[in-house]
Amino acid sequence: MNRLFVALLLVATLAAARARAGATTPTLVLATGDVLAQAGGGRTAVFGAAFDHTNAVQADYDLELVVWQGRRFARFPVSGGARVGETAALDDGLAAADLPSLDAASGPAPATVRLVTLATDGMRVSLPETFTAGSATAALVATVDEGIVLSNPLVFTVP
């Protein structure tokens, strides 16, 4: 009888541990990107996205939006301040292996460059003044236990 009780207790403990486990590899999708001109010359980019909002906000994983135009980029982490920089690593797009180069090439962004809002279905950011009219690209990046996860790259137009 004691063995049966211990076995049942072990099974219940393992099941509870699995139920509390953190998020698995998230699915990240950028669906839309629009840029709005602001008074004073600033630009706000609005992205429609699909991601695990609850886990991203509760810090189960680090989530950021990376926006780049040529070699210039801005990083908008969900937690922490925006960073800007320039690197040749973006010449062929963004890959997980490029993130250390972005880390090394980035510095704190001006106060006007920031994540403005984060919603369950997207985000709004203020772009750096160094972004000019033309094509730009954005991607979501999550850092999870399994490694780096990238969304699809979304090309949009900066007016």
* CATH number of the domain within which 59 lies: 2.60.40
Q: Is residue 127 part of a domain?
A: yes
pLDDT digits (tens, 9 = 90+) for 51-92: 776 766 665 678 899 999 999 999 999 989 999 999 999 999
What pLDDT score was predicted for residue 89? Answer: 97
Amino acid 63 reads L
Q: Is residue 146 part of a domain?
A: yes
Q: Is residue 137 part of a domain?
A: yes
Tally the domains of the chain: 1
Q: Is residue 4 part of a domain?
A: no
- Candidates 103, 157, 138; CA nearest to 28 is 138
Q: Show the domain range for 149.
A: 23-158
Please classify residue 67 by burial: count the beta carbons closer than 10 Å to its beta carbon, then call 0-12 exposed, 13-18 middle and 19+ buried.
buried
pLDDT digits (tens, 9 = 90+) for 2-51: 443 333 333 333 333 333 344 467 788 899 999 998 877 789 999 999 87
Q: Is residue 10 part of a domain?
A: no
- Predicted TM-score (pTM) of the model is 0.81
Q: Is residue 11 part of a domain?
A: no
If DSSP codes are grouped into helix, strand and coil, which group holds residue 58? coil
